[in-house]
Amino acid sequence: MEEDYYLKISKVSDLKNPKERILYRLLEIFPGALSWATLILVVFLSWKLPLFVAIFIIFFVLYWFFRTIYFSFHLRSGYKKMRENEKTDWMQKLSKLPGKNWQNIYHLVILPMYKEPFEIVRASFLSLVDCDYPKEKMIVVLACEERAKGYTKETASKIEKGGK
């Protein structure tokens, strides 16, 4: 049961052991402190070790340049894959499945929102209406935070009335 303890941690106050709290805080602070230390050390070391700082900055810029190129290639390949999947006739693929068990599956569609404009929520619902999947096999939930309940109820009632 002790293993489950670590699965329910969302903040430092959830930890029981003071040593674990300190470690949690240090690991939480580490990325920000490292970023600030890098910026401050570059400025201060530029007087004492200008050559070292210049080389560090060159490598830092090159690292991020190549990392950006890497991300760009993966972004492009992901976009191409998305376009391929948009052209796929998924209903035809479902009908070719052996056993046709897909007709017993319900899809839960959760649309989280917080004061999104009505037009955006309406477009989401219209895209669900326009899809080929059987509407009686979809359960659609418009979810919101408690503090936006009134706004969400108003949006939901507009959608129920026909979305105008």
Q: Which pLDDT score, from 0 to 100, does residue 1 have?
A: 47
Q: Which pLDDT score, from 0 to 100, does residue 5 have?
A: 65
- Domain carrying residue 10: 2-84
Quick one: 130 and 105 in the same domain? Answer: yes
Quick one: 8 and 80 in the same domain? Answer: yes
Q: Which pLDDT score, from 0 to 100, does residue 57 have?
A: 92
Tell me how far apart the alpha carbons of residues 94 and 102 are, in angstroms, rounded to a whole number. 7
Q: Which residues contact 97 (CB under 8 A, 6 or more apart)?
A: none
Could you say which of 63, 84, 105 is where a domain stops?
A: 84
Ordered mean pLDDT values, 10 residues apiece, the chain (164 residues): 64 81 89 93 91 93 96 97 91 78 85 87 89 87 84 84 68
91 and 133 Cβ atoms separated by less than 8 Å: yes
